[in-house]
Amino acid sequence: MKTRTPIYWRDRGGIRRAYADLREYADVGGKREALIAKDEKLATSDPAIAQDLLAKRIKELDGLRRGRALHGLAGQATLEAFASLHLVAKTKGGDVTEKWLELAELHLERAVAHFGAARDLASITTADVRGWAEHLKESDGLSGGTIRHHLNTLSNLYKRARAERMVPSGYNPVGDLLEKPQARRMEAKWLEVLDAALLLEAARLYRPKEKIGPPPLRFAHELVATFLLTGGRESEILGLEVADVSFDRGVVTFRPNDWRRLKTSTSHRSVPLWPQLRAILERYLAERPPSRLLFPSYRTGTEAMVTDFHKLLDAVAARAGWGEGDIRSKMFRHTYCAARLQTTDQGAPVSVYTVAKEMGHGGESMVRRVYGHLGEVRQRSEVVEYRVELYVAKLGERLAALQARSFGTTIGTTAVDSQPSRATVVAATSRA
């Protein structure tokens, strides 16, 4: 009786090439597949080489099957299918942000494209992961920090795979990688106190141009002040509700709500409502129409969170001499931290622990390593403030140029807005 062989042949360009039907090993990734020799791109046409490749592949699949039995694994998990399951589970868990999910999905899509959709998780080795990291760097041109984020996402997937017994206990080809890419350590952009004061003054003097279409954002001053005087993350500030500002308690509270979630459990916090911000928001809330959000957008016709205010920042920054893209909200968080570290608490320098808690961090390390900056202008104070009148001499021509650009733009504003700031009076006196 003739023995059935898994090898079958197909005509490819006039040449018969070898394939193997290994579907009886489907539980460990077996399928119909080409028998391709090392360093070749097409299936072999040599019967002897085909037999040798088949024997090696069956040995590999047998090993995987024995390994699964030995480790009590629940079954086979292919990369694409398990990545989808992993993302769904993360979404249902509710512990990650939408931005995190979007990036994780992108990272895993790239992993699937590189390793193959049907690749068994247990068959991906540390050498394979190293090859993927090199591919991301050489072919996609990604930086070390971005590649590290990709690897972290894949590592997190393997954590779930171990928990669900799809790979052996302790198996993680990413964790076994000895040399992992690193982000270049560079000091983040931030503003000296006098530069922040100049920007805040530019925001106070800014008036949006009237145009046909959605209404412009009319709270540049209040928005920039809230960023600079709370240290909140972008989504935290844009999702603040009016009720989150307590004038009685003197705090601004960052809490999850229907508009957005918070980044971590320690992000739920209260920060001081500093006198400068109190004065700005008291006037703002007394004059504006009622709404739930502190900074609402009505571009869609109903109240919603602001989603993009880069043009507003660019317009304000241009008045103070900065270029397009020079000022972004991430800088405000660093600026607040640097300014807060210069404040005093009952006569003594404020503790790093206090600042870390106001930043929404679980420990002090991020303040010490990332957010703490030592500027050239250091002024001990009991409060965080950016008052331009304190730096008239140092700002000099920059402040004069800002005031010259803003001359005559206060027509049609409220009586409070149209009054000159103390800096304007001081500057005019000094020039006289």
Cβ neighbors of 127 (< 8 A, separation 6 or more) are none
Report whether 43 contacts 34 (CB < 8 A): yes
Going from the C-alpha of 230 to that of each of 30, 111, 248, 420, the distances in angstroms are 57, 39, 17, 25
Helix (H, G, I), strand (E, B) or coil at 361: coil
Amino acid letter at 190? W
Q: Which two tokens stand for residue 390?
A: 């304190």
What is the rounded CA–CA span in Å between residue 192 and residue 330? 14
Q: What is the bridge-based pairing of β-strands 348-349 and 251-254? A: unpaired
Q: Give the single-character DSSP code of 74.
A: -
- Where do runs of H (alpha helix) occur along 246-396? 275-287, 310-319, 329-340, 352-359, 365-366, 392-395
3.40.47.10, 1.10.150.130, 1.10.730.10, 3.40.190.80: CATH of 79-163:
1.10.150.130
What is the rounded CA–CA span in Å between residue 40 and residue 29? 22
Amino acid letter at 347? G
194-227 pLDDT, tens per residue? Answer: 999 999 999 999 998 877 777 788 999 999 999 9
Which region, left, alpha or beta, applies to residue 269 given φ > 0 means left and ψ of -120 to 50 means alpha? Answer: beta
Percent of the chain with pLDDT over 70: 91
Cβ neighbors of 300 (< 8 A, separation 6 or more) are none
- Where do runs of H (alpha helix) occur along 7-143? 47-71, 79-93, 98-115, 126-138
Polymer length in residues for the chain: 432
The domain locations on the chain are 7-71, 79-163, 193-431
Half-sphere exposure of 31 (CA within 13 A, CB side): 8
Superfamily of domain 193-431: Intergrase catalytic core (1.10.443.10)
- The pTM of this model reads 0.68
Count of beta carbons in the 10 Å neighbourhood of residue 127: 11
Q: Pick from 300, 284, 289, 316: which is nearest to 416 by CA?
A: 284
Q: Which two tokens stand for residue 65?
A: 């099957």
Count of beta carbons in the 10 Å neighbourhood of residue 271: 21
Report whether 35 contacts 20 (CB < 8 A): yes
Q: What is the pLDDT along the chain (432 residues), one digit of tens a residue?
A: 455 788 999 998 899 999 999 888 887 778 899 999 988 889 999 999 999 999 988 888 877 676 665 555 556 688 999 999 999 999 888 778 788 899 999 999 999 999 999 888 888 999 999 999 999 999 888 999 999 999 999 999 999 998 888 888 788 999 988 888 887 777 789 999 999 999 999 999 999 887 777 778 899 999 999 999 999 999 999 999 999 999 999 999 999 999 998 888 889 999 999 999 999 999 999 988 889 999 999 988 899 999 999 999 999 999 999 999 999 999 999 999 999 999 999 889 999 999 999 999 999 999 998 898 888 887 789 999 999 999 999 999 999 999 888 754 443 333 334 344 555 544 444 444
What is the rounded CA–CA span in Å between residue 384 and residue 420? 22
In our burial notation (b when 16+ CB lie closer than 10 A, e otherwise), range 209-244 reads eeeeeeeebebbbbbbbbbbbbbbbbbbbbbbbeeb
